[in-house]
Structure 1
Amino acid sequence: MSRWLTEAVPRGRVAAFRTLIYLFVAADLVVFTPWVRTRVAVPGELYQPLLVGRLLPLPTPTPAVVAALFWALLLLALLAATGRGPRLLGWAVFALYFEWMIVAMSYGKVDHDRFGLLVALAVLPTAGRARHGDPTRSEAGGWALRVTQIAVICTYFLAAWAKLRFGGLDWLTGSVLARAIIRRGTELADLIASVPYLLLVAQFGIVAFELLSPVVFLLRERWRLATVGFFYSFHLVTMATITISFAPHLAAMTAFLPLERVRPVVWARRLFSRRGRDATRPAGAAPALAGQASAAGRPDGP
């Protein structure tokens, strides 16, 4: 088990995952959860902190507290995305984002799509330094990614457990998806809803998929990546039908992917260097070289 938990991965994968996660945190503040800043406009009596918020001596949110939290977290997340100070900046981002989530989820609604992201932020500081493109393998980095993967799969499995625990078999045979489509469905969802019994089949399929999600750890790499692709397609359909994005969960799920193969900075450098060479090359040089190459490859004589 310890060998599986600490299976070494390229440091380049850890660096890419770290950059993606911290950039997502910055995007989350300004794109997905900017509404947190408006929560402080309501009376303080409506703030009912989660259990962890009651156990820790955290202040009741005020406009000044939330504004300071927002700007500090945004700045530190962008700095952490560079890979510098992985432990110091990593722990700071985790602590601030954790408080950001306590504020966000202490007004009556708790989203379960952020569990994997919070775990990723908690374990990334333990991975140590990592550079993009570094093929050196790291057990510490492997542990950070593995724990994030487990959190992602627990999100699925525990969601199914909650459905069956609180809804029972009625969740499977009821009108859960029908109500969701009525509330926030798209035109595509309306087309699906018009097919008899398809929503009931979908509800059985969702629970089966969530209960079977841990099987992903038993698959070979090729099939594991295909299964993760299916996970992403499931959320794509969810977004296209009932407009639920699960963006934080999708960001954390990249822990399954060989991100070290995606190197946009290197690609950009190659592109710009190629354009620079083309711009400095004298006019007509390329055709001449091509002609010389053609002549060199042509045999002499008739």
Structure 2
Amino acid sequence: MSASTGTAGGGSAVPGAPGRGRWSRWPEPVPLARIAVFRTIAYLFIPVDVFLTTAWVRAHAAVPTEYYQPVLVGQWLPLPTPTSTVVHVVQWALVAAAVAAATGRAPRLLGTAVFLLYFEWMVIAMSYGKVDHDRFAFLVALAVLPTIGRARWRDRRPSEAAGWAMAVVLLAVMLTYFLAAWAKMRFGGWDWASGSTLAWAVLRRGTDLATWTLEVPGLLLAAQWVMLVLEFAAPLMLLVRSDRARVALAAFLLGFHLMTFAGVMIIFLPHCVAILSLVPWERVPEAGRRLGSRIGIGERAQVQPAGPAPPD
């Protein structure tokens, strides 16, 4: 009779059982330490987002309420009209809840509060004009993190609940790219790929690292087609299973966004935070020790055994 290995999420895995290989079960359980680290990163990013990257949201406190045109979900739900009091209360309550949630205490209660407050913060942000698509995956991450419960940085127990949560975030990351391509075709048609989309972006916002591309015939046009093809191919991301492949995918996606920022000063920080959910954070200490041993850091000095005293 084979022994079974329990998981923190309540399931079990039977080593060697048929049909239970890496590709037969999705999503796979992930260590709780991965959740603990990612949850800390996500919650600590919120004050940065509120006060730096989307500091303009609190300016809506001074906007007359008649300009408030809630997005569709804001029309469905009985959300308050963003008066000055509402905006400031949501802002400070969100920051306080996020900082408290980053400690790991009361993860379900505080995590749910963070999600609801950030959801309202985004409704306030996007109900006066342009709706940004870079918030979707991050908002989904905030929604699923409270479902896991307690998780500690050194807790390497596999959890099925954690596996499902990270799979949902990956799905949201994938849909962000795929639906972006669909939106390009819906609103811009094939002219988006065959026109001067990137050239216009470089002319408006280009840095010295990007302006040279305007002098290379066909380069930006080819880049538009490559972007469109890659975005439509985003569902292939769901085939990534191994930790090494996840790290490679995260590095590729983050590298793309950093390159975009270097070229046209546009970066989707909340989406980049969601991408960090792909990283197997529980292996970082082990990888650090392995790297340190390769470069000679942390090696113990070898002490020669004591011998007889030399003659006078």
Q: Distance in 2 between matches of 1:179 and 1:69?
A: 37
3-state DSSP class of the match of 1:109?
coil
Residue 256 (1) aligns with residue 278 (2): yes
Farther off after superposition, 235-244 or 210-219: 210-219
Q: State the partner residue of 2:88.
A: 67
Q: Distance in 1 between matches of 2:122 and 2:140?
A: 13
Deviation at 1:20, TM superposition (A): 0.7
Residue 225 (1) aligns with residue 247 (2): yes
Q: Distance in 2 between matches of 1:181 and 1:35?
A: 24
- TM-score with structure 1 length normalisation? 0.85
The one-letter code matched in structure 2 to 1:293 is: V
Q: State the partner residue of 2:3.
A: none
Q: Distance in 1 between matches of 2:70 and 2:254?
A: 32
Structure 1 unmatched ranges of 5 or more:
268-289
Q: Distance in 2 between matches of 1:214 and 1:300?
A: 73
The Cα offsets for residues 48-87 of structure 1, whole Å up to 9 and x where unpaired, read as 1101111111222112111111111101100101111011
3-state DSSP class of the match of 2:210?
helix
Identity %: 56
3-state DSSP class of the match of 1:188?
coil
Q: State the partner residue of 1:286.
A: none
Q: State the partner residue of 2:306.
A: 296
The answer (yes or no) to whether the contact 2:29–2:160 under 8 Å persists in 1 is yes
The one-letter code matched in structure 2 to 1:228 is: A
Q: State the partner residue of 1:246.
A: 268
Structure with more relative contact order (C-alpha pairs < 8 Å, separation 6 or more): 1
The answer (yes or no) to whether the contact 1:146–1:255 under 8 Å persists in 2 is no
Q: Distance in 1 between matches of 2:235 and 2:309?
A: 64
Q: State the partner residue of 1:93.
A: 114
3-state DSSP class of the match of 1:146?
helix
- TM-score with structure 2 length normalisation? 0.83
The 1:297–1:150 alpha-carbon spacing in structure 2 relative to 1, beyond 3 Å, is farther
Deviation at 1:16, TM superposition (A): 0.5
Deviation at 1:120, TM superposition (A): 0.4
Equivalences for 1:276-295 in 2 at 5 Å?
293-294=303-304
Q: Distance in 2 between matches of 1:193 and 1:298?
A: 77
Deviation at 1:25, TM superposition (A): 1.4
Residue 237 (1) aligns with residue 259 (2): yes
Equivalences for 1:38-77 in 2 at 5 Å?
38-77=59-98
Deviation at 1:42, TM superposition (A): 2.0
Residue 210 (1) aligns with residue 220 (2): no
The one-letter code matched in structure 2 to 1:211 is: F
Q: State the partner residue of 1:278.
A: none
Q: Distance in 2 between matches of 1:253 and 1:59?
A: 32
The one-letter code matched in structure 2 to 1:102 is: V
The one-letter code matched in structure 2 to 1:226 is: A
The 1:297–1:206 alpha-carbon spacing in structure 2 relative to 1, beyond 3 Å, is farther
Q: State the partner residue of 2:296.
A: none
Residue 113 (1) aligns with residue 134 (2): yes
The Cα offsets for residues 225-258 of structure 1, whole Å up to 9 and x where unpaired, read as 2232111111111101111110000000111111
The 1:293–1:39 alpha-carbon spacing in structure 2 relative to 1, beyond 3 Å, is same
Deviation at 1:166, TM superposition (A): 2.0
Q: State the partner residue of 1:166.
A: 187
Q: State the partner residue of 2:123.
A: 102
The Cα offsets for residues 156-181 of structure 1, whole Å up to 9 and x where unpaired, read as 01111111222221111101111111
Q: Distance in 2 between matches of 1:256 and 1:191?
A: 34
The answer (yes or no) to whether the contact 2:65–2:81 under 8 Å persists in 1 is yes
Q: Distance in 2 between matches of 1:69 and 1:252?
A: 22
The one-letter code matched in structure 2 to 1:225 is: V
Q: Distance in 2 between matches of 1:155 and 1:299?
A: 73
Deviation at 1:297, TM superposition (A): 7.5
3-state DSSP class of the match of 1:226?
helix
The one-letter code matched in structure 1 to 2:58 is: R
The Cα offsets for residues 177-227 of structure 1, whole Å up to 9 and x where unpaired, read as 111112212121211222111110110011111111221222452334223
The Cα offsets for residues 22-55 of structure 1, whole Å up to 9 and x where unpaired, read as 1111211111111111122122221111011111
The answer (yes or no) to whether the contact 1:160–1:210 under 8 Å persists in 2 is yes
Deviation at 1:300, TM superposition (A): 8.5
Structure 2 unmatched ranges of 5 or more:
1-22, 290-300
Deviation at 1:294, TM superposition (A): 3.9
The one-letter code matched in structure 2 to 1:209 is: L
Q: State the partner residue of 2:10.
A: none
Instruction: Give the alignment partner of residue 144 of structure 1, picking from 145, 165, 186.
Output: 165
Q: Distance in 1 between matches of 2:179 and 2:307?
A: 66
Q: State the partner residue of 1:80.
A: 101
Q: Distance in 2 between matches of 1:30 and 1:294?
A: 57
